[in-house]
Amino acid sequence: MSKTAPATPAAISREGTVAIVASRYNARFTDALVESASATLARIAPGLGVRVVRVPGAFEIPLVAEALACAEPQPLAILALGVIIRGSTAHADLIAESITRSLQDTGVSHLVPVIHEVLLVASAEQAEARTLGEELDRGREAAEAAVAMIEVMASLD
């Protein structure tokens, strides 16, 4: 696991909306991702509106991401936020693989950046380190990636 994130992108003045689709499951961790991503977006992209849609679990995130990608107006980026903690069966891995494939398909087919921060971790301690810890902040990193990709996509027009 890399602990070196890319540099924070420069603040942008672009207008539009960023959608955050977040699981309610493992709420302590997912709420922290949403709060951090929202605060980061407010700081580095103050002109962007943020729409948060909560879904029951991580498996439901891709469906709502797809619906948002089809909406008019389309968001400039979609952040997928959730935490899956592995158990003793393969269930978590199957869910995570399905989510990854679906989110990538949505981004590619609709040409909208879909930032995948549905974390698959081995323990609550790992989830805490990535969502509540000082060293890693995957919510902030998701927001920064979204802003960077908004700029990349705008440069392609």
From the list 80, 140, 93, the residue with the least C-alpha distance to 121 is 93
Categorize the per-residue pLDDT at 11 as very low, low, confident or very high, splitting at 50, 70 and 90.
low
The string of pLDDT tens digits covering residues 84-126 is 999 888 999 999 999 999 999 999 999 999 999 999 999 999 9
List the alpha helices (DSSP H) in the chain.
27-44, 61-70, 91-110, 124-131, 138-155
Categorize the per-residue pLDDT at 136 as very low, low, confident or very high, splitting at 50, 70 and 90.
confident
**Block residue for tokens 């960023």:** 18
pLDDT at position 1 over 60 = no
Would you name the residues annotated as active-site residues?
91
pTM of the predicted protein model: 0.91
Average pLDDT in the chain:
92
Domain boundaries, the chain: 41-125+132-155
The pLDDT of residue 94 is: 94
The string of pLDDT tens digits covering residues 57-88 is 999 999 999 999 999 999 999 999 999 999 88
What fold, for 41-125+132-155? Rossmann fold (3.40.50)
CA distance 100 to 42: 27
116 three-state secondary structure? strand
